[in-house]
Structure 1
Amino acid sequence: MGTSWSARIVAAPEGIAAAIQSELDRVVAEMSHWAPDSDLSRFNRSTPGRWQPLPIGFAKVLAAALDVAERSGGAFDPAMGALADLWGFGPPGPRQGVPGDAEIAADRALSGRAHIEQDDRRARRHTEARLDFSGIAKGHGVDRVAEMLRSMGLRDFLIEVGGELRGEGIKPDGQPWWVDLEVPPGSRLAPMRAALHGLSVATSGDYRRSFTHAGRDYPHTIDPRTGHPLDNGVTSATVLHPSCMLADAWATALSVLGPEGMALAEREGLAVHMAVRDGTGFTEHLSPVLQAML
């Protein structure tokens, strides 16, 4: 996944670090678009129209991704691999300059969830659309590790993969797993502290990965509706949810929707914090569920 992981586990048994690494390696083997021999990469090379069998984890993530895509009106879309590559954020690596309108239009025409069909443990693509689980796989990895630990009888832990976290149970001193929600670098926003007790947190931020061309920054998050990197002023969107996988996906969707997406967050019952650039400063938006939690 191109990132690190960490874990704090009460009464951790010997060898647990190797077990966690093995579980995350399985996630990579299923759904990394960087690994050419992963199940996802093989799916992206499959003949359009031909059904492909899916591992259980892959099928679960794809179903969740397509559901969030539908609920968000396409603000989140797992079939944007071609556009991510075009903008230099995929396995082909960085590009010189920015793509032209014709290139963007061509890749948009073959991309998107409408070209992906899933039937439980199998799926097929109807065009050369390529899946990219960058906005959901890390969260799924956190959940996989948490489920593994619970199956081993471990009930008190904090798991983190690339900044996405899930906490279960309590610390030895009886306190929950307190974490400060991520704030944009350079902002003067006061950090919020959340107790991750059966709760996950994921943040999508435009400062995490980008490139600059002609004096303009292009963040790695692509708006599926336009085929262009985000340019809506949202610098971060943080979601708290029992499922880290869903927190991850919704953080991406809401960063694309911007402040107008807070109405959707309210309808979906999501706890959301959003930071938006406003001139030289930042404004904060909190969903009603998060306000109630505070």
Structure 2
Amino acid sequence: MGVTWTLRAVTLPGLGPEVLARTVQGRLDAVVAEMSTWEPFSHISAFNRAPAGAWLDLPEGFARVMACALEVAALGQGAFDPTLGRLTDLWGFGPAGPVQAPPPSALIEEALASAGWRRLEFDARQGRLRQPGGLALDLSGIAKGFGIDLAARALLRLGVRHFLLEVGGELRGEGLKPDGLPWWVALERLEGEAAGHTPVVLALCGQSVATSGDYRRYMIHKGQRLAHTLDPRTGTPSERGVACVNVLHGEAMVADAWCTLLSVLGAEAGLELCAAHGVAARFLVHTKKGLEERLSPAFQALLDD
């Protein structure tokens, strides 16, 4: 995944750091083996190479991620799309490595024509997916969150009830710290936030928080920063003025996917969708006066408690 992970846990007899490390790393390695486009022998790479009309059986985890990805794609009417693999490569954010300039519009249009989540046929009952021809999946906007959930469930099965797991900046907390207090997590402050702005601190107990922002991965072209979050409707980096989105949810996979979706939708449309579905989200939006914070009703309710 190209990221590090950390775990803080209240251990049990016979469950030392080495056992917990193997447990977490093993689950993350499994996600990479199934859903990393950087791995030529992964299941997702096999699907992307498959001929038109081929059905591929998916591992259980892969199938769960696809089901969630397609559900979020439908909710966002295509603002989240797991089929942007070719566009990701064109913009230099995929395994092929960075590029020096935006791709020509003709190549963007060609990649868009081969993409589209509605082109997929997903047999949820049988756990299989049909390659329509020329379509390249990219699950980077959701798979890391699933890896966190997978590792967290493995820790719980071991009997570890109190822990804070972080993978690439996304976190999941369970139980309490040894002192009886929650796992408190402060959301990252960005350059441009008002100096007197009160930091947002969340208590993670059976909850996950994911973050997406234009300051993490981007390219600079002619003095302009182009974020790695691509708008599936245009094939270009999102231009909705969103500096950062934080989403709090019981499943890290869902929080991860919604972060990507909301970065593309922008604050106005994104907050409407969050309100309709009870999603707790926080936006930091670029304005002429700096970064402005906007909260969904569910997120505001957490701060009011």
> Which range, TM-score by smaller chain?
over 0.9
Match runs of 1:13-28 below 5 Å: 13-14=15-16, 15-28=19-32
- 4+ residue runs over 4 A deviation: none
**Deviation of residue 182 (structure 1)?**
2.5
Match runs of 1:160-239 below 5 Å: 160-188=166-194, 189-239=197-247
Mapped contact 2:23–2:155 kept (Cα < 8 A): no
Q: Secondary structure at the match of 2:266?
A: helix
Tell me the equivalent position of 1:52: 56
Match runs of 1:127-138 below 5 Å: 127-138=133-144
What is the CA deviation profile of residues 194-249 of structure 1, one whole-angstrom value per residue up to 9, with x for unaligned ones?
A: 00011100011110011111111111000011100011210001100000000000
**Deviation of residue 186 (structure 1)?**
4.3
Mapped contact 1:32–1:40 kept (Cα < 8 A): yes
Candidates 230, 239, 250, aligned match of 1:242: 250
Aligned mates of 1:269, 1:116 — CA distance in 2: 28
Asked if 1:257 corresponds to 2:265, the answer is yes
Q: TM-score, normalised by structure 1?
A: 0.97
Aligned mates of 1:2, 1:185 — CA distance in 2: 24
Aligned mates of 2:80, 2:288 — CA distance in 1: 27
**Deviation of residue 280 (structure 1)?**
4.3
Match runs of 1:113-152 below 5 Å: 113-120=117-124, 121-152=127-158
Q: CA RMSD in A?
A: 1.1
Question: How many residues align structurally?
Answer: 294
Mapped contact 1:183–1:236 kept (Cα < 8 A): no
Asked if 1:276 corresponds to 2:276, the answer is no
Tell me, which stretches of 5 or more residues in structure 2 are unaligned? none
Aligned mates of 2:93, 2:245 — CA distance in 1: 20
Paired letter, 1:6 = T
Aligned mates of 2:205, 2:139 — CA distance in 1: 26
Tell me the equivalent position of 1:158: 164
Identity of aligned residues (%): 52
Aligned mates of 1:249, 1:184 — CA distance in 2: 22
Tell me, which stretches of 5 or more residues in structure 1 are unaligned? none
What is the CA deviation profile of residues 40-91 of structure 1, one whole-angstrom value per residue up to 9, with x for unaligned ones?
A: 1111111121110000000000110010000011111111111011111111
Mapped contact 2:192–2:290 kept (Cα < 8 A): no
Tell me the equivalent position of 2:275: 266
Tell me the equivalent position of 2:37: 33
Q: Secondary structure at the match of 1:179?
A: strand
Mapped contact 2:210–2:246 kept (Cα < 8 A): yes
Paired letter, 2:255 = A
Aligned mates of 1:263, 1:137 — CA distance in 2: 25
Candidates 55, 71, 77, aligned match of 2:75: 71
Tell me the equivalent position of 2:2: 2
Candidates 94, 98, 108, aligned match of 2:112: 108
Q: Secondary structure at the match of 1:65?
A: helix
What is the CA deviation profile of residues 77-108 of structure 1, one whole-angstrom value per residue up to 9, with x for unaligned ones?
A: 11111101111111111123111111111110
Q: TM-score, normalised by structure 2?
A: 0.94
Aligned mates of 2:119, 2:131 — CA distance in 1: 6
Mapped contact 1:115–1:127 kept (Cα < 8 A): no
Does the C-alpha gap of structure 1 residues 185 and 4 become closer, same or farther in structure 2, counting only changes over 3 Å? farther
Aligned mates of 1:24, 1:38 — CA distance in 2: 13
Q: Secondary structure at the match of 1:147?
A: helix
Aligned mates of 1:164, 1:96 — CA distance in 2: 29
Aligned mates of 2:162, 2:266 — CA distance in 1: 35
